Structure 1
Amino acid sequence: MVAVRIVDQPGTGLGLVTEVALREGDVVASICGAEYRSHPTRTSIQIADDRHMDGLQVVAYLNHSCDPGTYVDVRALTVIAARNLVPGDALTFFYPSTEWAMACPFVCACASDGCLGRVHGAQRVPTAVLSRYRLSAHIRELVTVRDAAAAP
């Protein structure tokens, strides 16, 4: 894991910031030692249709943003820089990129131009919005099934 610091982030609670410069594509963290569950929890990351990782140690402090600085590669179990980051930048990811239906939906505090407002998981996000993000394979599959079921 690169050097990160847990900080109190107004409006979101504890979160992570980088202490070093990162380039887009750099591995920020590897996820290991996680516990697997069949259901989501407040701190889990969904890695398949019916599989969630919990007990994520410092990775559990990755907050949500609609303009994220990282993404989670659930196949490689890594957190990757989504763009160049400088020391002090918040390490966030777009929760619906891995989560279909969240255990604890919440009001987003990111205030980015494309903010979702309320974060429930990808199940409730329009396909056009999801297309702006790197999505996990299981989320892409679930969106395809959802869209096919809604087609006339």
Structure 2
Amino acid sequence: MVAMDTIVIKTENKFRSLITKQAYSKGEIICEIPTEKLFDKANRYTVQIAQDKHTEVGKLSALNHSCDPNVILDTERLIMVARRDIDKGEELSFFYPSTEWEMDAPFICLCGSSNCIHVVAGARFLPLSTLENHYLNRHIREMMIQLLNNTELHLSKLLENAEK
């Protein structure tokens, strides 16, 4: 597996980012997602890898969000993959709601993308029409289905009560 020595944290004006030291082709594996420290709740240094499992990601915690990201975090295979061709020296970014159901620390997105979601709070708070345009990990898709099923059940109960 590819090691993390091809990426480096850059700090500028107290803001951290993750920069690649080499070019990658679309679909190429960049590195593994670390899983040494697991938690049942999110924090700003973890990535959600299952419905109730978060992993501290070390150097990858410097990965910034973008609504038009250049990498995918695949939480089933526990790897970071190039979403498109990436140049040497480019900042790496991923779509946070692709792994996060509810963010520990939501924030305003300033990525400038034409499809910007504006508030990054987690997949739970985004419409399906937005999510369907992004790679989503299995646990996010499963949680979305659960939410839709619960909403459908709630609506049917409301209708039943209204008819009485």
TM-score normalised by length of structure 2: 0.85
Match of 2:48 in 1: 46
Contact 2:45/2:58 (CA < 8 Å) preserved in 1?
A: no
Distance 1:81 1:148, change over 3 A: same
Contact 1:29/1:59 (CA < 8 Å) preserved in 2?
A: no
**How is 1:135-150 mapped onto 2 (pairs within 5 angstroms)?**
135-150=136-151
**How is 1:59-138 mapped onto 2 (pairs within 5 angstroms)?**
59-138=60-139
**Partner Cα separation in structure 1 for residue 129 and residue 90 of structure 2:** 27
Match of 2:159 in 1: none
Give 5+ residue unaligned stretches, structure 2.
Answer: 156-164
Match of 1:29 in 2: 31
| Structure (1 or 2) with the larger CA radius of gyration | 2
**Partner Cα separation in structure 2 for residue 109 and residue 87 of structure 1:** 23
Choose which of 6, 9, 16 in structure 2 pairs with 1:6: 9
SS at match of 2:124: helix
- Residue 70 of structure 1 deviates from its aligned partner by 0.4
- Residue 57 of structure 1 deviates from its aligned partner by 1.7
- Residue 33 of structure 1 deviates from its aligned partner by 4.9
- One-letter amino acid matched to 1:140: R
Match of 2:161 in 1: none
Q: How many residues align?
A: 150
- One-letter amino acid matched to 2:108: V
**Partner Cα separation in structure 2 for residue 9 and residue 93 of structure 1:** 19
**Partner Cα separation in structure 2 for residue 85 and residue 9 of structure 1:** 21
Distance 1:93 1:9, change over 3 A: farther
- One-letter amino acid matched to 1:147: L
Q: Per residue, is there more helix in 1 or in 2?
A: 2
SS at match of 2:141: helix
Distance 1:9 1:141, change over 3 A: farther
Matched-pair identity in %: 33
**Partner Cα separation in structure 2 for residue 121 and residue 76 of structure 1:** 21
TM-score normalised by length of structure 1: 0.91
Structure 1 residue runs of 4+, over 6 Å off? none
